[in-house]
Structure 1
Amino acid sequence: MSALVGSSAWVFFGFTLLLVGGCAFLMGQAVASTWRPAWQILPYSILLALADRFLVFGLFGGQLGAVLPFIFVSLLLLVLAGTGFRLTRVDMMVRQYPWLHERAGLFAWRDKTS
């Protein structure tokens, strides 16, 4: 597992997944709540992954220049940011336009016309 994440499992779960992953989820919510397009979570996720790799290197002695852990962390943060984005966007569409849309599950809405 350390070859995939570039550090120990405790550092990955405690720092990367909980702390930085929580920041990625909140970042996705912030992008959605300001009505920006979904593609904007991609560059923010990459920047957050760069910051995570640097902090893991500086604080816990992880690998700085390893490509595979960077790609893995970037994809993980992108998924968490996308989840936060979609949950917030669905909530906004249902709450702000209740005469047009109704919730159709956790990640979707549907039109009320039918």
Structure 2
Amino acid sequence: MPTSSARSSKRGGYTLAELLVALVIIALTLAIVGPRLYFSSDAALADRAVRSFESAARAARAEARLSGSDTVLTVNLDTAVLRIEPSGQEFRLPEQLALTATVAEAELDP
């Protein structure tokens, strides 16, 4: 007749150490692969573009306030570069971004 210790040693399953090792491997894989998936996504591309526009607009405003004169923020659609005049400071948009512009045919004076 088998003893209770003989029965328990034949039970299948994983030990706590084996489960922890598996969880560590999964966590490391997600830590390495996860950001690469996000940064190559369209959402990340749009996020970087918005941040570049925001930074350029803030810099242009700060320059105008400090100098007390007008500044111009120019968007070059061909090179995806934002340029502040007169300082010449430039901000680059992500290269993969496709830029198009919709403009009015006429300008109304108030």
Structure with greater strand percent: 2
**Bigger fraction of residues in helix:** 1
Q: Which has the higher contact order (CA 8 A, sep 6+)?
A: 1
TM-score (norm 1): 0.33
TM-score where L is the length of structure 2: 0.34
> Which has the higher Rg, Structure 1 or Structure 2?
2
